[in-house]
Amino acid sequence: MNAVQADCDVADGQTVLQPSAGPADARAVWLDRQQLQWPGADAGAVAGSRFRLVHSAGGRLVLAKGQAVQGADAAFVLGATQAAEPAPRFKHLAAGARLRLAADDAAQLPALIGGQWALVHEAADATVLDATSVQLPALLDDLYAPAQQLAQLGVTVQAQATRFELWAPTARAVTLCVYPRGSGHAEAARMLQRDDATGAWRHTEATDWRGRYYRYLVDVFVPGTGWVRNRVTDPYAVSLTTDSQRAYIANLNDARLKPAGWDAHRAPDKVQANTDMVVYELHVRDFSASDASVPPAHRGKYLAFTDTASRGMRHLRALAQAGLTDIHLLPVFDLATVPERGCVVPRVPSAAPDSPAQQASVMADAARDCFNWGYDPFHYSAPEGSYATDPADGAVRIREFRAMVMALHRAGLRVGMDVVYNHTAAAGQHAKAVLDRIVPGYYHRLDANGVVERSTCCDNTATEHAMMAKLMTDSVKLWATQYRIDSFRFDLMAHQPRAAMQALQREVNAATGRHVNLIGEGWNFGEVADGRRFVQASQLSLNGSGIGTFSDRGRDAVRGGSAGDEGEALVTRKGYVNGAAEGPRDEAMRLADQVRIGLAGTLRDYEMLTWQGQARRLEQIDYAGQPAGYASEPGEVVNYVENHDNQTLFDNNALKLPHDTTGAERARVQMLAAAINLFSQGVAYFHAGIDTLRSKSLDRNSYDSGDWFNRLDWSYQTNHFGTGLPPQRDNQSSWPVFQPLLADKTLPPKPRDIAWARDAFRDLLAVRASTPLFRLRDAAEVRQRLSFPNSGPQQNPAVLVGRLDGAGRADARFGELLYFVNVAETAQTLMLPELAKGAAWRLHPAQARRGAADLRAREARVDAASGGFTIPPRTAVVFVRG
């Protein structure tokens, strides 16, 4: 065994080969291969001064103020002016010296790209006034632009040949370590060869190495540390061994990586446009960890979805038959925080429903337990191992993931993925950082000092950089082609450029030969807010793109309050379904208008008569200083009233509804919110368990709250409300409000309440599925076919009324449809004489059928003589005619 091969067996992730004491900050920025900018530096402040770019291959620069530069083996004098206008890609940069490298000097950069760089401002006597490292991404994008066309990053396996390719332009050496198993000694070490045009390193072995494992030794300079040898996995890994220690060599077309029937199976043909999507957001572990009808070995695993007789799969099939189209899985790529073997199941004590003891037990083991939402990406293109029955075998997680997808497809459901390309679990030289340990300083977004931005909670990636955008696109293409993923939800998508998302859409569609539905969070915040760095993939900036964003407009109007509420605000800030509609009239009408905005698809150019008596386009109506209507087409909005974030809808209503509200009425209120969502134009999105009154015992952020606070019960006996105070970490300020509610034995729903909500939800799904009038694909049709009787200053704000005109559409099924949502505690009669005329209205078949859940809907009456429509209390009713 040679020395390099022996180094493959060293467990430690990093060896410092040559320490460096140079500057670790990076206050200057490359703009392209010839230009730099140093914000804050004044090009003409010091007479006779100059700017130089200095380099040391060995990392030996000494840059002490008041002394001459030492240790440089190359230096370039820069032309300097004071920047007046920011460069388009760098409009976030503060004013400062704009520096230019001579063309001949710029030509030398590729030969010097590795090693230590510094930008120095020197006095006339050549002593240092100031010095800083330089942010490299734009330089690397310019020098190595051809890398964007690389088609084979990662591993490519063919008959008797295995090819490895890694983009690492600043490395001085890359070594491949190959292992026969996921543990044990290396069997081979190979030096990769650098392609100077792309900055990629390659090696082709004339051997079929599939089924083996690998990692790299990357010798690279890290500012502030020096030359290091990083033992690191591949950012393009398609699978891994336990706890992601080694990457797996695979040809994803191998038969042994496919469950029986994989090639022949097809996804359900249920969605032709975004607006056809009705989504159920589900966590793999939540789905089956507590389901006794699933074999023990499959609980919390991918394979639980293949147990067709389980309670959970029977539940999903029933939803699919009623009209659900998509299951969206919370992150299932390789995660950083869940132990893939030997995770702990906390021993939760039996304690009072308002006790802190349960959460104390759960949180004591949170770092070692089997649960996390998974918004902590490690490897973007490999399935998570904790959901596989054998995480040590790289083939198993691939095969079982595919088996899950195929089982859901066969159940009549498309499969979506929640993807998190806006941040990684770690950056820098952290053991669970992959990208930064291969190309330091490139893949993440940096602040003015060169420190990684963390506005998303974690280390923000920078998809404005070409190779990070490529990694994102290549990853989505892999999931869509190799795992047949039908749709994607992008976490904090507004931290990515609109252009990157549109390019991704084009490439993924081309790779799959079909339209892949894209939706995401368009929240506008952080260092990229208001377009500071690029045109964002945000609510206000994505209109016209065809990509959907989640709407907070309808969500907050229906639920009440906002995502940041705590303590008493959770009780007092009521929503349309849980009290506000029967409060002060002006506020009730304003809120009813906010709900109508959602019903109209949040469309910019939809015109509505407001509660103040004005005809306004939705973009002219104010929402917290923004246009309430922001979408150009209905497929660009995702309507929801509950998802994994914040309290569940049941918990939200437990806080806001009057104390004496019965369990049956609480279930009705829950279904009123669901009805509003299903009647709204756009994508309909639901959190798993909304139909079973799911509770997380009031937890506002259950991302690491273990199985205990995230349980689902497919036996429909309990919703787990009152199973202890939620974790202190995110809830303690609200504990005084929570305790009396959790202790109240009248609040947990009875099994009959859960069963009613389950069945009522399916009936509402069937209503939406029955006609494309609820799923109109373009804004012009929404304007033409949707109107809101009972709007304006004379409205009854407790009743929403929507009319959908089916004239001229052969597929509409109904000539006309009229829906009512009465949120009041009493029956309401509306006088709508123009609508009462003509052919008789009849209850929608899904609500009129024998066995329909909501018997109260049958009490709705239409008096053709008077034009009166009487709607029972807390009931959603749909009439049809023609």
Q: How far apart are the first and last CA of the chain?
A: 82
Residue type, 496: Q
Triad 318, 324, 328: Cα angle to 5°: 110
pTM of the model: 0.97
Q: Is 617 in a helix, a strand, or coil?
A: strand
What is the distance between the alpha carbons of residues 220 and 533, in angstroms, rounded to a whole number? 28
Q: Which of 789, 562, 597 is nearest to 676 (CA)?
A: 597
**14 pLDDT band (50/70/90 cuts)?**
confident
- pLDDT above 90: percentage of residues in the chain: 95
Beta strands 128-132; 116-122: pairing state: antiparallel
pLDDT tens digits for 119-131? 999 999 999 999 9
What span, in angstroms and rounded, lies between the C-alpha atoms of 134 and 96? 14
Please state the rounded mean pLDDT for residues 471-491.
Answer: 98
Residue pLDDT, tens place only, 205-252: 999 999 999 999 999 999 999 999 999 999 999 999 999 999 999 999
Quote the tokens at residue 125: 């006597």
Residues 673, 760 contacting (CB under 8 angstroms): no
pLDDT band of residue 11 (cuts 50, 70, 90) is confident
pLDDT at position 2, please? 63
Handedness of CA 704, 706, 709, 715 (dihedral sign): positive
Of 88-102, 237-251, 486-500, the range with the lowest mean pLDDT is 88-102
Catalytic residues: 491, 521
Q: Which long-range contacts (CB under 8 A, 24 or more apart) does 66-73 make?
A: 66/127, 66/128, 67/127, 67/128, 68/126, 68/127, 68/128, 69/120, 69/122, 69/126, 69/128, 69/131
Contacts of 5 (CB under 8 A, 6+ apart): 177, 186, 188, 189
pLDDT at 652 over 70: yes
Q: What is the mean pLDDT of residues 319-333?
A: 98
Long-range contact list for 143-148, CB < 8 A, 24+ apart? 143/33, 143/109, 143/110, 143/113, 143/169, 143/199, 144/169, 144/197, 144/198, 144/199, 145/466, 146/197, 146/198, 147/198, 147/199, 147/200, 147/466, 147/467, 147/470, 148/466, 148/467, 148/470
Confidence of residue 318 (pLDDT cuts 50, 70, 90): very high
Helices marked H in 241-333? 284-288, 311-322
**pLDDT reported for residue 23:** 84
Provide the pLDDT for residue 13.
80
Which residue has 């939760």 as its token pair?
A: 348
Find the helix or strand (DSSP H, E) in which 672 lies: helix 663-679
pLDDT digit string, tens, across residues 750-767: 999 999 999 999 999 999
Mean pLDDT confidence for 357-382: 97
User: pLDDT band at 870, cuts 50/70/90?
Assistant: very high
Please state the rounded mean pLDDT for residues 151-157: 96
Q: Which pLDDT tens digit goes with each residue over 393-434?
A: 999 999 999 999 999 999 999 999 999 999 999 999 999 999
The DSSP bridge partners found for residue 154 are: 165
Model confidence pLDDT, tens digit, residues 547-592:
999 999 999 999 999 999 999 999 999 999 999 998 999 999 999 9
pLDDT value of residue 24: 81
CA distance 479 to 484: 7
For 767-782, what is each residue's pLDDT tens digit?
999 999 999 999 999 9
Burial class (CB in 10 A: 0-12, 13-18, 19+), 47: exposed
For strands 683-687 and 247-248, give the pairing. unpaired
Rounded CA-CA distance 774/37 in Å is: 53
Q: What is the pLDDT of residue 762?
A: 98
Q: Which amino acid is at 140?
A: L
- The pLDDT assigned to 3 comes to 67
CA atoms within 13 A on the CB side of 647: 27
Reply yes or no on whether the pLDDT at 1 is more than 70. no
Mean pLDDT of 61-72: 96
Is pLDDT at 313 greater than 60 in this prediction? yes
Residue 44's pLDDT band, with cuts at 50, 70 and 90, is confident
- Record the tokens describing residue 522, joined without a space: 């368009």
What is the C-alpha to C-alpha distance for residues 600 and 711, in angstroms, rounded to an integer? Answer: 34
The answer to whether 873 and 837 have CB atoms below 8 angstroms apart is no
Q: With bands split at pLDDT 50, 70 and 90, how would you rate the model's confidence at 87?
A: confident
- Per-residue pLDDT, averaged over 446-473, amounts to 97
**Burial of 564: CB neighbours in 10 Å, binned 0-12, 13-18, 19+:** exposed
Residues 194-210: what's their mean pLDDT?
Answer: 97
**335-361 residue pLDDT tens:** 999 999 999 999 999 999 999 999 999
Return the residue matching tokens 């100059």: 50
Q: Which residues contact 300 (CB under 8 A, 6 or more apart)?
A: 284, 285, 288, 289, 370, 386, 387, 707
Strands 637-640 and 226-232: unpaired
